[in-house]
Each structure stands twice: as C-alpha cells, then as structure tokens.
C-alpha cells in the first residue's frame, strides 16, 4: 500500500473516530432526555394516567434503555475497530497520535455509560414490580 493511500485512509479513519465519538455523546444526551420525560410522565406529571398507561411507559422505559445499551455497544465496537486501524496506519506512516494515548485504567467511559443504561433498565424493570 502506498504512503499516499495510507495517509488518505488515516484521515478517513480519524474522521470516523470523531463521528463515533460524537455519536456516543449524542446518544447519551438523547437517552437522558427520553428518560427525564418518562420519569416526569410516570412520577411527576400533573395528570395521572391509568395504571395500564403507566405500565406501558415503564415497559417502554426498560426497552428503550436496553435499545440504547445495544446502540452503545455497536457504536463502541466501531470506534474500537477504527482506533485499531488508526494505530496500524500510524505504524506504517510513523505517526503517534493514537499510539501515544494514555492506557485505560480503572473504569472507562464505555463502562460508565454501560452502567447508566443498565441501571436505568433495571430501575424500570423494578418499577414494574412496585
């Protein structure tokens, strides 16, 4: 593979990393807005809907939480793969932008977001029992 082609691919991979990094943040923001709306509808609204509607909203909250967890996993998977490819290209090009990033220690942002989605799903499932 030519150096020019590798540089072009490296730029594309870097753009993909920015995209998936931004997508993860956007997903979390959208998720929090949806959960806030559901919490207000179920627990803090002026109008008290029937039990059937509340149950449907709680089930919806659990399903939405699980759906966002799946989207997070897929987005993280793509992000990791593009980062691996960027590191491969850096070795060929002599770059060190991604190779010199600090190693992950302790809790990662991916694991933190997994906990948020997982605990929220757990909350909605428990709320169905109470």
Q: 104-129: per-residue pLDDT in tens?
A: 887 899 999 999 999 999 999 999 99
Which of 87, 94, 103 minimizes the C-alpha distance to 14? 87
Domain spans of the chain, in order of start: 3-129
Which of 21, 110, 34 minimizes the C-alpha distance to 73? 110
Banded pLDDT at 48 (limits 50, 70, 90): confident
- What are the start-end ranges of the H helices in 1-48? 3-39
Q: How do residues 4-43 score in pLDDT, each as one tens digit? A: 999 999 999 999 999 999 999 999 999 999 999 999 999 9
């Amino acid at each position: 593979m030519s150096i020019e082609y590798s540089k072009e691919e490296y730029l594309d991979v870097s753009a993909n990393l920015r995209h998936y990094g931004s997508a993860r943040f956007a997903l979390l923001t959208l998720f929090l807005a949806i959960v806030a709306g559901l919490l207000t509808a179920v627990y803090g609204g002026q109008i008290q809907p029937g039990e059937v509607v509340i149950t449907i909203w709680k089930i919806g909250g659990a399903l939405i939480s699980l759906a966002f967890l799946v989207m997070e996993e897929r987005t993280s998977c793509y992000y990791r793969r593009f980062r691996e490819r960027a590191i491969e290209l850096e070795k060929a090009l002599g770059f060190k932008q991604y190779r010199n990033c600090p190693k992950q220690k302790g809790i990662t942002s991916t694991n933190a977001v997994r906990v948020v989605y997982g605990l929220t799903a757990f909350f909605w499932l428990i709320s169905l029992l109470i």
